[in-house]
Amino acid sequence: MIDRRDFLKIASAVIPTWGLIPIASAQSPLYTGKFLFNVHASGGIDASSWFDPRETDATMNNYAAARTPAAVAGNIRVAPMGNNAAFLQRYFQNMLVLNGVNSETNSHDDGTRAHATGMLAMGYPNLSELFAYTQGKNVPLSWLNAGGFMTSAGLVPATPMPDGNSFRTLISPNAQSAQTDFIKQGDVAKMLAARAERVKAQQAAGNLVPRSQMVNAQFDAASSSRAMLARVNDFLPPTFDNAAHVALVAAQAGLMTTAQFASGGFDGHGQLANSYAQSLPRLTDLVDYIITKAGELGIANRLVVRIYSEFGRTPLNNGNGKDHWPVGCQVIMEGTPPAWGNRVFGASGPRHQQLKIDPATGAVDAVNGKVMTPRHVHAALRKYLGIQTSDPKFQLNIPASENFDIFNPNAKTGYPTM
């Protein structure tokens, strides 16, 4: 049997201590808003192997050399690699493609931080952290992290993603398996009731020393948190498919606001087409799973997915690979088609040179346009997600003239260089 002490051990390993303290009341509301899934395509995904294809210049891609055209659905194009075409066909109405985003770095570490926080400078909160802090700091698994940038800015610590078994143990410490309990649930209920009565009696006596009072308070908080976590029992599947499934069940139960994943294999310095034949399907399969499963769980209408990477890549090098290049692309999706879907905002040149964009319309404007960077994308995301912060430490300091209106359904760039 797992007792309170054991439960607290498990909880402290999976849930940060702060997660127990603020929810002293089991009446804390469950989270019912949008949830954000950040997916980091780790290694620096090549834009022209993704949603900024180049189909005629043989120095850019093997598929261009073979004269294979890009796949098209709606207003969006994608490189004919991996399962990209099927992914686009299925989700083009759900997605906004941001092309020509300048990471301002060729460094993996700096690019990871810039796209996670919006800033190259250190100390800014990850979008996941800011989202968890503003939307659900009182839920116990607010920011689940299965990869990517997880350095906290001090707002909310990330909770390492538990695997299915750990998650089940956390939710139901008495469960030996999906079907069997260690001891009869009725006996557990009696024992918990007896404990609660004892604590109540101790408190009523009014003669506890401060240390005992503190222990009782912690016990009460842990019990309340347990009660909250136990609500997940209503949604627990017999088995978990993967980490994304765990996150979605936590979201369904109202205990999570944001989850973060990394899908690697995009640092293709040599023979890029070969490595991307593995890594691209892995990425699209993950996102496809998240959206499909969210639909099955009835929560697709609350789902926002962002797919990003450290930077883009150069034309093909001597080894048929591609090196680091600051200008790249990212994708924002929702579980159900949003008004702002089926669009491309921003663009890069024929060899992914930087282009300047009119922030209001999305049109290429070499004279008065602005360079779109991660902080511009983050400013727009913060506004769209309702997570702007008034804390001066975390301001992105975007001038009004550089507010890229990326979620405006009428602002679009398309593919001007194709």
Partner 1 sequence: MNRNMPSNVSSAAARVLASILLTGFLALAATAGTAAELRGFASLGLNGLILFQPCDGRKVSNRTLKVDDATPDTALTAGIDDVRRIMLESGRPLYVEFRGDVAGIVATARQFQRALGTVASCESVPSVIAAGTRFWAAGDEPSWRLVLTAGDAQLERPGQKPVRFPAAAFAAPVKTPTGRVVDAWSPQDGGSIRLELTEQMCSDGRSESAYGARVTLRYGSTTYEGCAARF
Beta pairing partners, 313 = 324
Whose Cβ is closer to partner 1: residue 154's or residue 319's? Answer: 319
> How far, in Å, CA of 261 to CA of 244, rounded?
8
The answer to whether the CB of 345 falls within 8 A of the CB of 363 is no
Whose Cβ is closer to partner 1: residue 166's or residue 317's? Answer: 317
DSSP state of 233: G
- What tokens appear for 244 in the block? 């994304």
> How far, in Å, CA of 372 to CA of 291, rounded?
28
Do the bridges between strand 258-263 and strand 143-146 make them parallel or antiparallel, or are there none, so unpaired?
Answer: parallel
Least Å distance, CB 139 to partner 1, is 33
CA 198 remoteness from chain centre: 43
Whose Cβ is closer to partner 1: residue 41's or residue 130's? Answer: 41
- Backbone dihedral region for residue 147 (phi beyond 0: left; psi -120 to 50: alpha; all else: beta): left
Whose Cβ is closer to partner 1: residue 138's or residue 317's? Answer: 317
Whose Cβ is closer to partner 1: residue 143's or residue 325's? Answer: 325
Whose Cβ is closer to partner 1: residue 105's or residue 342's? Answer: 105
Least Å distance, CB 108 to partner 1, is 5
Whose Cβ is closer to partner 1: residue 167's or residue 308's? Answer: 308
Alpha helices in 172-242 (DSSP H): 185-205, 210-230
Least Å distance, CB 192 to partner 1, is 46
End-to-end CA distance of the chain: 65
Binding residues vs partner 1 (CB under 8 A): 42-43, 105-109, 267, 269-270, 314-319, 323-325
Report in angstroms the alpha-carbon separations of 112 from 9, 184, 187, 265, 365. 32, 48, 50, 14, 28
Least Å distance, CB 97 to partner 1, is 24
Least Å distance, CB 135 to partner 1, is 32
Least Å distance, CB 319 to partner 1, is 7
Least Å distance, CB 315 to partner 1, is 7
Q: What angle do CA 372, 280, 364 make, to 5 degrees?
A: 25
DSSP state of 402: G
